[in-house]
Amino acid sequence: MRYAMIMAGGAGTRLWPMSRADRPKQLIALPSGKSLLQLADNRLTGLIDPAQRYICTGERYHNQIVAALPHYAADHIIGEPAVRDTVNAIGLCAAILCRDDPEAVLAVLTSDHVIDPTDRFHAALSTGYQLVEADRSRLVTFAIQPTFPATGYGYVERGKTIDGFRDAYEAQRFVEKPDEQTAQSYLARGGFGWNSGMFVYAAETFMECLRRFLPESFDGLTAIAQAWGSPDQDRVLDEVYPILPKISVDYAVMEPAGGDDALSICIVDMDVRWLDVGSWPAFAEMIEPDSAGNCVSCKHEALLLGASNTLVVSDDPSHTVAVIGVKDLIVVHTRDATLVCPKDQAQRVKEACERASTMSG
């Protein structure tokens, strides 16, 4: 059977002060009124039944997600007691599925992105499922067509086409966050895509990869899965999960699998708009600008006089934000904090978040 798991564990410190330790970016409202997590779930409508969907998140966010997505069964919202990176988040869901459905095929999806149109997303994901159902030794990743020489994303290089499947290729190689000159050469040469961080695996194949490449995680996650649904579930989870090796799925599974003749790494092109909402400038891309290039998303009124190319955001329904004679700024107001910075300093928002967390009050 086909399943999907949405990873929703990131804190999103670059969207401070909207995003906080107790309110991750996946749950903050976007200009559309929906959160990134709600959009990720909506994208599965018509493709995966809600009964076959899971979310992996921090345990502290469990109740917020239940409130935001009440159609999820409580035991399908898997709460991590500690952050142990993507390989263990995926492995925990795979281990639980293996116990209940040995034929499970799992799509691993992100909640950090705006992805459209949905029909192209569905087409690519369907191809990923079909590839694995035809050969359960396949590990599928999805490639996004680069639109600029990004240095913050990993890249995948396409190899030979896979007969019988649309936009599917053997993986030639993975490159982790190249420098700008190298990224520019990839765009010029073609054949490279951004590594989307989304995958399709047979759950049993993923667990076999862990058994071979990361046995500490295999043993720990198997123990947790055996206790899942029993009175010992929380105790075993709290004892075992925080001591699992912290490592990404790319390094722990995809990299060693690429050199293993028993496994096959496949790439499916996902021809979509893929917006990583990981910073305020990216947030602004979701808002239609006015004639002066200003982007406004406020629950109350905003007053702009002589402003240009400025982002103004507020979630306070009783507060007016006014900006006068400014340009190229980011202004974000919440009830307990306000951010003002030049757009070209947006990368320092994470630093401000970290410092603010150490301040009293």
pLDDT digits (tens, 9 = 90+) for 36-89: 999 999 999 999 999 999 999 999 998 999 999 999 998 899 999 999 999 999
pLDDT, residue 30, reads 87
Specify the pTM. Answer: 0.91
Whether the per-residue pLDDT at 133 is higher than 80: the answer is yes
Numbered ranges of CATH 3.90.550.10 in the chain: 2-276
Pick the CATH number of 2-276 from 3.90.550.10, 3.30.160.270, 3.40.50.720, 3.40.50.2000: 3.90.550.10
Rounded-to-10 torsion of CA 292, 114, 124, 167: 40
pLDDT, residue 361, reads 46
What confidence tens digit (pLDDT) does each residue in 86-107 have?
A: 999 999 999 999 998 999 999 9
Give the pLDDT mean for 180-190. Answer: 92
The whole-chain average pLDDT of the chain stands at 93
| The Cα angle at residue 92 between residues 89 and 96, in degrees rounded to 5 | 150
**DSSP, residue by residue, 245-268:** ----HIIIIIHHHTT-TT-EEEEE
Whether the per-residue pLDDT at 255 is higher than 80: the answer is yes
Between 175 and 94, name the one with better pLDDT: 94
Give the pLDDT mean for 170-178. Answer: 89
